[in-house]
Amino acid sequence: MPSVLSDVVLQALLHEDAPYGDLTTDSLGLPDVPGRVVFAARQPMTVCGSEEAVRLFQLCGAQAHVSTPTGRHVLAGTELLAAHGPAPGLLLAWKVAQTLVEYGSGIASAVARIVTVLRAAGHAQQVACTRKAFPGTRALAAKAVHAGGGVMHRLGLSETVLLFPEHRLFVDHSVDDTVGRLRKLQPEKRVVAEVGSMEEALALAEAGADVLQLERFSPEAVRACRLALHTSRLHPVLAVAGGVHGDNAVAYADAGADMLVTSAPYHAPPRDVEVRFSRDV
C-alpha cells in the first residue's frame, strides 16, 4: 500500500520535530558515519504506516525499505522496516517515523479486533469509523481503518448527506419535506439521518431516509427498532453509533444492526515498536 502522506506533509512533520535542526546531534558534531536502524513489533499488531516511515528516512538521506507492509497482522519480533545511511539522517527521522507507525498500528489493530470478534461470531457487518480522528491525522487514520479491515463512515462533510437533529433544529419544514429536499438536491446520494429515539427512527424511515444512524441505542433498543420497522414494512439500513467497541459489537450485530459505526479505534493505545540502531563499519 503506498504512502497516503505526501512529501510535503512528511517534511512538515520533520520540521515540526526539528525546526532549527537536531541540537544534540549537531552539538556532538556527529559525522556522516553510516548506520543502520531496524523497526520491529514488540507485540502482536496490525501494521500501519511502514510506508510513510520508510519515506521519512529517505527524505533524511537514508536508503530504506518496507519489510512488512500496511495491513499485515504480525507477531512480536516481526521486522517492519529497515534503513541505512548517515547517522544524522537516521537520528532525525527516528522518532517521527516510530511514532507514526505506533499510532497508525494502534488504530489498525483496534479495528481488526472488532472485525475479528464479529467474524468469529458469524457476522459479516461492516465496521465503519467516523471522521472524529484527531484533527490533521485523517489521511493516516483512514489508512489505518482500512488496514484493520474496516471502512470509513464519512471522510468529511463534502461527500455524504447526514441529517443530524442539530440540522433539523434550524429547519422549519416537516421531516417529509426535509428528506424530500435533500433527495431532490442530491439525487445521487443516500440520505442518512441520525436519530435518538424510536419515534424519530420511525418518522425518518417513513419520510424515506435510506439509512438510520441509531445514536446510543442499546442492543435491546436496536432489536425493538428493527422489529417496529419490519412491522411497518420499512427497510432502511440500520447503522448503530455511539459507544460501539469490541466488547459490545457482537451484541449489536445479534440485535439486527446492519453496520457498526465507531470512533473507539482512534482512542486505542499505540502499538509498541522496537527500534534497533547499529553502526556500520
For residue 1, being part of any structural domain is answered with no
Q: Give the CATH number of the domain where residue 38 resides.
A: 3.90.1170.20
pLDDT of residue 225: 97
Q: Across residues 114-139, what is the average pLDDT?
A: 96
For residue 146, being part of any structural domain is answered with yes
> Do 44 and 29 belong to one domain?
yes
30 backbone dihedrals φ, ψ, rounded to 5° = -65, 125
Q: What percent of the chain has pLDDT over 90?
A: 97
> Do 93 and 215 belong to one domain?
no
Q: Across residues 107-116, what is the average pLDDT?
A: 98
Contact 84/63 with Cβ under 8 angstroms?
yes
Query: Given a cut of 90, is residue 174 above it in pLDDT?
Result: yes
Q: Across residues 173-197, what is the average pLDDT?
A: 97
> Do 18 and 89 belong to one domain?
yes
The boundaries of the domain holding residue 102 are 7-115+268-279
For residue 2, being part of any structural domain is answered with no
pLDDT of residue 1: 78
Residue type for position 140 = L
> Do 79 and 172 belong to one domain?
no
Query: Given a cut of 80, is residue 281 above it in pLDDT?
Result: no
d(CA 5, CA 96): 13
**Nearest one of 236, 238, 240 to 261, comparing CA atoms:** 240
- State the DSSP string of 116-140: HHHHHTT--PEEEE-S-SPTT-HHH
> Do 71 and 154 belong to one domain?
no
> Do 65 and 195 belong to one domain?
no
> Do 76 and 143 belong to one domain?
no
In the block, cell 510535503 appears at 8
Q: Give the CATH number of the domain where residue 151 resides.
A: 3.20.20.70
pLDDT of residue 3: 86
Taking only the tens place, the pLDDT of each residue in 92-104 is 999 999 999 999 9
Taking only the tens place, the pLDDT of each residue in 10-33 is 999 999 999 999 999 999 998 889
Q: Across residues 215-243, what is the average pLDDT?
A: 97
> Do 81 and 40 belong to one domain?
yes
Query: Given a cut of 90, is residue 2 above it in pLDDT?
Result: no
> Do 77 and 169 belong to one domain?
no
pTM: 0.95
Residues 6+ apart with CB under 8 A from 212: 192, 193, 195, 201, 204, 205, 225, 236, 237, 238, 239
**Nearest one of 59, 50, 48 to 18, comparing CA atoms:** 59
Q: Across residues 31-46, what is the average pLDDT?
A: 96
pLDDT of residue 227: 97
In degrees, to the nearest 5, what angle opens at C-alpha 275 toward C-alphas 135 and 113? 55
Q: What percent of the chain has pLDDT over 70?
A: 100
> Do 110 and 131 belong to one domain?
no
For residue 35, being part of any structural domain is answered with yes
Residue 39 banded pLDDT, cuts 50, 70, 90:
very high
Contact 93/71 with Cβ under 8 angstroms?
no
Taking only the tens place, the pLDDT of each residue in 236-269 is 999 999 999 999 999 999 999 999 999 999 999 9
Q: How many domains does the chain have?
A: 2
